[in-house]
Amino acid sequence: MAFEGLTTRLQSVFGKLKGRGKLTEDDVNEALREVRLALLEADVNFKVVRDFIAKVKEQAIGQEVMKSFTPGMVVIDIVNKQLTELMGGTQSKLAKAAKPPTVIMMAGLQGAGKTTTSGKLAKWLQKQNHRPLLVAADVYRPAAIRQLEVVGGQIGVPVFTLGDKADPVDIARQGVAHAREHNLDYVIIDTAGRLHIDDGMMEELERIRTAVEPDEVLLVVDAMTGQDAVNVAEHFNSRLSLTGVILTKLDGDTRGGAALSVKAVTGCPIKFAAMGEKLDALEPFHPERMASRILGMGDMLTLIEKAQAAIDAERAAELERKMRRAEFTFEDFLEQMEQLKKMGPLDQLFDMIPGMGSLKGFKVDEKQMARVEAIVKSMTKEEKRNPDILNASRRRRIAEGSGTTIQDVNRLIKQFEDMKKMMKQFSSMMGGSGKKKMMKKFGKRMRFPFG
CB atoms within 10 A of CB 234: 15
Cβ atoms of residues 104 and 188 within 8 Å: yes
Cβ atoms of residues 269 and 53 within 8 Å: no
Name the more confident of 389 and 249.
389
- How many angstroms separate the Cα of 298 from the Cα of each of 273, 323, 348, 351? 17, 27, 10, 6
- How many angstroms separate the Cα of 217 from the Cα of each of 99, 171, 187, 189, 284? 18, 17, 12, 10, 16
Q: What is the pLDDT of residue 439?
A: 41
Instruction: Give CA–CA dist 390/395, Å, rounded.
Output: 6
Instruction: Give CA–CA dist 79/74, Å, rounded.
Output: 9
Helix (H, G, I), strand (E, B) or coil at 273: strand
Go through the domains of the chain in sequence order and give each one's CATH number. 4-86 (1.20.120.140), 102-297 (3.40.50.300), 303-446 (1.10.260.30)
Q: What is the pLDDT of residue 323?
A: 62
Instruction: Give CA–CA dist 429/424, Å, rounded.
Output: 9
* pLDDT for 78 beyond 90: no
3-class SS string, 216-233: EEEEEEEHHHCHHHHHHH
CB atoms within 10 A of CB 444: 12
pLDDT in tens, 150-206: 999 999 999 999 998 999 999 999 999 999 999 999 999 999 987 777 888 899 999
* pLDDT for 23 beyond 60: yes
Full strand arrangement of the beta sheet holding 132-136: 159-160, 132-136, 186-190, 102-107, 216-222, 244-248, 270-274, 282-284
Q: How far apart are the first and last CA of the chain?
A: 21
pLDDT bucket at 64, cuts 50 / 70 / 90: low
- How many angstroms separate the Cα of 77 from the Cα of each of 28, 59, 62, 272? 14, 11, 14, 25
Q: What is the DSSP letter of 182?
A: T
Mean pLDDT of the chain: 80
Instruction: Give CA–CA dist 196/232, Å, rounded.
Output: 9
What angle, rounded to 10 degrees, do the helices at 4-18 and 25-41 form? 170
pLDDT bucket at 433, cuts 50 / 70 / 90: very low
Q: Name the β-bridge partners of 220.
A: 246
Q: What is the pLDDT of residue 299?
A: 47
- How many angstroms separate the Cα of 376 from the Cα of each of 89, 310, 351, 413? 46, 21, 27, 10
pLDDT in tens, 243-274: 999 988 887 655 667 778 888 888 899 999 88
Instruction: Give CA–CA dist 5/37, Å, rounded.
Output: 12
Give the global pTM. 0.67
Most confident among 138-147, 296-305, 362-371, 415-424 (mean pLDDT): 138-147
Q: What is the pLDDT of residue 161?
A: 95
pLDDT in tens, 303-339: 555 555 555 666 666 666 666 666 778 887 777 777 6
Q: What is the DSSP letter of 315?
A: H
60-69, 98-107, 378-387: the lowest-pLDDT one: 60-69
* pLDDT for 67 beyond 90: no
Q: What is the pLDDT of residue 365?
A: 60
AA identity, residue 116: T
Q: What is the pLDDT of residue 342?
A: 66
The C-alpha torsion from 228 through 145 and 143 to 150, rounded to 10°, is 100
Distance, CA of 449 to chain centre: 21
Name the more confident of 195 and 433.
195
Cβ atoms of residues 222 and 113 within 8 Å: yes
Q: What is the pLDDT of residue 437?
A: 46
Average pLDDT over residues 388-394: 93
* Region of residue 299 (phi > 0: left; psi between -120 and 50: alpha; otherwise: beta): beta
157-171, 222-236, 436-450: the lowest-pLDDT one: 436-450
Cβ atoms of residues 220 and 107 within 8 Å: yes
φ/ψ (deg, to 5) at 362: -75, 120
Instruction: Give CA–CA dist 184/178, Å, rounded.
Output: 8
Q: What are the counts of helices (DSSP H) followed by strands (DSSP E) for the chain?
A: 21, 8
Q: What is the DSSP letter of 94?
A: P
Task: Note if the bond before 287 is cis, omega within 30 degrees.
Answer: no
Instruction: Give CA–CA dist 375/387, Å, rounded.
Output: 13
Q: Which of 18, 41, 20 is nearest to 254 (CA)?
A: 41
